[in-house]
Amino acid sequence: MVEIDGKAYIADVSFGVSSQIWEPLELISGKDQPQAAGVFRLINKGEIWILEKTGRKPVVVNPQFSTSSLVNKLQTYQIYCFTLEPREAENFTAIGHKLQTDPVSLFTKKSICSLQTPTGFKVLVGLIYSVVTYNPGEGVDILDIRYITEDELDEVLKEQFNVRLQKKLTPSNKKASFCYTI
């Protein structure tokens, strides 16, 4: 939490891709706070605060991916919960280690590269490359999702993410656990 001009805000880059807040969120329960990715709101439940997001209708360019788990079917969903208890960096050491080493963690089961763009984001998960363009004026988000080949991998990383690897990447996109508590 940070204070700006006497008001409390949550300034957390948190989750990437479509759940990432781009600007601080005022710490007011139930207030709709529109941003590029959708409408975020904080809900106070006593000592627990909930961050939720209401998104727009996804328009999937490639019909092959219309039923993919990469396409969020829920218009409103909970991103995470938190308390206002002050934390220090060492409070995150154990969970950071677990996320990097747990065999069922998202970060050990998937190779992920994501980048915000002025109009949305790009993400490469395994060999699935997606470009998401927010279109709030039309009430939709455009999802252009496609498979790439292993031969295209280095070029996509270089051209789309400005990433050059020293060693060959083995792409991965296996089922993973998403629930962790700090």
Q: What H or E segment, with its residue span, contains residue 59?
A: strand 57-60
- The pTM of this model reads 0.86
Q: What is the pLDDT of residue 178?
A: 62
Reported as a single tens digit per residue, the pLDDT across 15-30 is 677 788 889 999 999 9
**Where is pLDDT greater, at 33 or 11?**
33
Mean pLDDT of 118-127: 94
In the chain, where the domains are located: 2-161
Q: What is the pLDDT of residue 177?
A: 67
Report strand pairing: 33-35 vs 25-26: unpaired
At the second CATH level, the architecture of 2-161 is 2-Layer Sandwich (3.30)
Q: Estimate to the nearest angstrom the gap between the alpha carbon of 136 and the chain centroid.
A: 18
Reported as a single tens digit per residue, the pLDDT across 139-180 is 999 999 999 999 999 999 999 999 999 999 999 988 876 655
Distance CA 137, CA 57 (A): 12
Q: What is the pLDDT of residue 1?
A: 84
Reported as a single tens digit per residue, the pLDDT across 56-73 is 999 999 999 998 888 888
Q: What is the pLDDT of residue 11?
A: 85
